[in-house]
Chain A
């Protein structure tokens, strides 16, 4: 079954608005990473956050491990934030393999 579920599947914002992306997972996760995938396909790691809250720049991630969910908050969105945001977890199988969600496609319009 689907190990990682992301919502919403797509989101359209006006520049300057905030975005809230959700990631829910079905099993214990020992590692969780948020990625940005550009329209061209390149993958960039944004935050590694298996538990608690982490900030970097305009990004804030909060992971509640017991509830098997994580969120990514993007403040003051910019047109260059447009792309796909992926949540990936490691399922504590003993080896570190990421299971990815299908992503949230974000479009920021000027």
Chain B
């Protein structure tokens, strides 16, 4: 089936540094999403992105977070600066029409 890739699979950084999580969505998909899952807790929606714009974001999407997809390349989630509570697995998803979403394998972020 369609595959979403995420790079890197793991990232360890010091608190206060910037991190960029990369998502390679399924080609020809138009809707993109980021979700966050803290260890042992449920998956939570962060943001969705369509036509070059953020369409909706949750209260978890802090001011330190930003997303973009320059020139149809990776869909990125940038956190600057990072905080300890940002440690989690971040899942990217894409969808052709906004119904069925296809998820990547996740990036495990550890902020020290």
Contact = CB atoms under 8 A, between A and B. Distances in A.
Interface of A: 31, 33, 35, 41-45, 48, 86, 88, 90, 93-103
Instruction: Tell me if B's interface is mostly helix, strand, loop or mixed.
Output: strand
Nearest to A40: B105
Nearest to B33: A97
Nearest to B55: A95
Interface residues of B, number: 27
Interface string B78-112: 00000000000101010100111111011010000
Contacts of B31: 96
Instruction: Tell me if A's interface is mostly helix, strand, loop or mixed.
Output: strand
Nearest to B103: A43
Given A86-B43, A100-B43, A103-B42, A95 B103 contact: no
Contacts of B22: none
Contacts of B56: 93-95, 97
B14 interface: no
